Amino acid sequence: MEFKDLKLNKPLVRTLVQKGYEQPTLVQEQVIPLVLEGKDVIASAQTGTGKTAAFALPILQNLYDRQDSSKRGRKVRVLVVSPTRELAIQIEENFKSYAESTVLRTAVVFGGTSIEPQKKLLDAGVDILIATPGRLLDLHKQEMVNLNFVETLVLDEADLMLDMGFIDDVKKIERLCPSEKQILLFSATMPHKVVQLAETILKNPEKVEVAPTSSVVKTVSQVLYYTPKPQKIELCLYLLRNTIKGNIIIFRRTKFGVDKLEKSLLKNGYKVDSIHGDKPQSERQDAMNRFKKGEVNILIATDVAARGLDIKDLDAVVNFDLPNIPETYVHRIGRTGRAGEIGTSYSLCSADEKPYLASIQKLINTHISVETEHPYPLDPKAKPEVHKKKGSKHRPGRKSEASKKKKKRWY
């Protein structure tokens, strides 16, 4: 099947051909015709399957077909709600790319940066608005954005949106739009709360499920290293020197962990940058741009970057810390091996992370290959490290005076 077979108009097909898009992905094949028909859609699609184009392309075509004089004047006719700033920016880039041959205006608004430039952007008028929930509601409260003309509402990464506590905001945004509108809901997973939301706001939706969340892209090779937690940085440096090459994203569980690892890699001469929630939006975007341009080849991130970011030619993903939510592992390693390219994920597992590993392997129904040939192996009998509070005078193997005097109890 080709894009022209999906009844997309010639300007859109021509743009796609110029950009090297040859055939639609499975999610595009299934979703595009439904959106063109004006139906509500709830779609479960694995990350990296091309779902942004699945809704952007038919939306752009529908804007042409539905255009009439009463709705001209740059009113917001399409609203895309995204959970994070990075995703919102990326979605806008995709819309602009696909709409090159049109006169449609696209804008993105998000928190963490000055609201004034965004007000000016909206004041000039836009057709397609991509927004994070909080900033959108702020702008609406200040009467800087009018949602009365919205024809299509897209809720992207709905499960992440609800995990981040945006459910009330999402419901409010939906109510601010006209009652007669098309709603497209995309989610990597379909937990009960997402299904509940869909049942509340969608009307007779068509359901599309391209791949279960537990499936890992076949083009990603997975390798596991057991190592003591205190030696993870040494093992990471060893792998970067000897095994892992190219463009790399390293995931850490905490912001503190990101900063600590970044300092170590910079000290060892690596070109590295980082993103996490405590960094200003401008710094996060600069870091992403430097990484995409090849000015740095290592990006360290918390899971704010695990969803939806489309980074071309990403050679490897390193799980420095295993995630405690198994689905997050799938999202992380889905950053590489995209669009048929080959990628590799490297996971460093300490003794206390073995339960996380068990959950991951159960979810993906795969036993991840273990690499034992490295200088920092984990003792098979090792137990999770016990971290004593600072100032504690307790020494391993010695009972305190108080504990000696304690009487044994039967319960």
> For residue 348, what are its two tokens?
């460093």
Tell whether the model's pLDDT for residue 385 goes beyond 90: no
E strands, 195-243, in order: 206-209, 220-226
Q: Domain containing 363 — which CATH number?
A: 3.40.50.300
pLDDT at 314: 87
Q: Assess if residue 49 is contained within a domain.
A: yes
- The verdict on residue 388 lying in a domain is no
Q: Has residue 283 been placed in a domain?
A: yes
Both 40 and 125 in one domain: the answer is yes
Last residue of a domain, one of 163, 178, 209: 209
375 inside domain:
no
Q: How confident is the model at residue 188 (pLDDT cuts 50, 70, 90)?
A: confident
Q: Is residue 396 part of a domain?
A: no
Residue 306: band (very low, low, confident or very high) from pLDDT cuts 50, 70, 90: low
Same-domain pairing of 70 and 101? yes
Residues 195 and 232 in one domain: no
Chain-centroid distance of CA 344 in Å reads: 18
328 — pLDDT class (breaks 50, 70, 90): confident
Residue 20 pLDDT greater than 90, yes or no: no
378 belongs to a structural domain? no
Q: Clarify whether residues 8 and 62 are in a common domain.
A: yes
Confidence of residue 231 (pLDDT cuts 50, 70, 90): very high
Domain boundary (184, 209, 234) is at 209
pLDDT of residue 131 exceeding 60: yes
Range of 100's domain?
Answer: 3-209
- Does the structure show a pLDDT above 80 at 46? no
Query: What band does 211 get if pLDDT is binned at 50, 70 and 90?
Result: low
Section 231-253 average pLDDT: 95
Q: Is the pLDDT of residue 392 over 50?
A: no
Same domain, 244 and 285: yes
Q: Which of the residue ranges 12-21, 60-69, 316-325, 366-375 would you say has the lowest mean pLDDT?
A: 60-69
The per-residue DSSP string of 232-285 comes to: HHHHHHHHHHHT--SSEEEE-SSHHHHHHHHHHHHHTT--EEEE-TTS-HHHHH
* pLDDT of 402: 43
Do 112 and 70 share a structural domain? Answer: yes
Give residue 80's pLDDT band: very low, low, confident or very high (50, 70, 90). very high
Is 9 in the same domain as 107? yes
Do 7 and 151 belong together in one domain?
A: yes
Same structural domain, 198 and 340: no
Q: Which long-range contacts (CB under 8 A, 24 or more apart) does 260-267 make?
A: 261/233, 261/236, 261/300, 261/320, 262/300, 264/233, 264/237, 265/237, 265/240, 265/298, 265/300
Residues 245-280: pLDDT tens digits?
999 999 999 999 999 999 999 999 999 999 887 787
Token pair of 48, please? 């990296």
Per-residue pLDDT at 300 exceeds 80: yes
How far is it, in rounded angstroms, from Cα 411 to Cα 409?
6
Which of 97-111, 178-192, 376-390 is least confident? 376-390
Same domain, 232 and 332: yes
> Which has the closest alpha carbon to 30: 17, 12, 43?
43
Instruction: Using the predicted structure, report yes or no on whether residue 200 has a pLDDT greater than 90.
Output: yes
44 and 165 co-located in one domain: yes
Same domain, 203 and 117: yes
| Domains: count for the chain | 2
- If one compares 404 and 5, the residue with the highest pLDDT of the two is 5
Evaluate if residue 17 carries a pLDDT over 70: yes
Confidence of residue 189 (pLDDT cuts 50, 70, 90): confident
Decide which of 174, 209, 244 is a domain's last residue: 209
- Token pair belonging to 398: 């010695």
Q: Residue 127 region, left (φ>0) first, then alpha (ψ -120 to 50), else beta?
A: alpha
Q: How far is CA 295 from the centre of its chain?
A: 22
Q: How far is the C-alpha of 114 from the C-alpha of 81, rounded, in Å?
A: 19
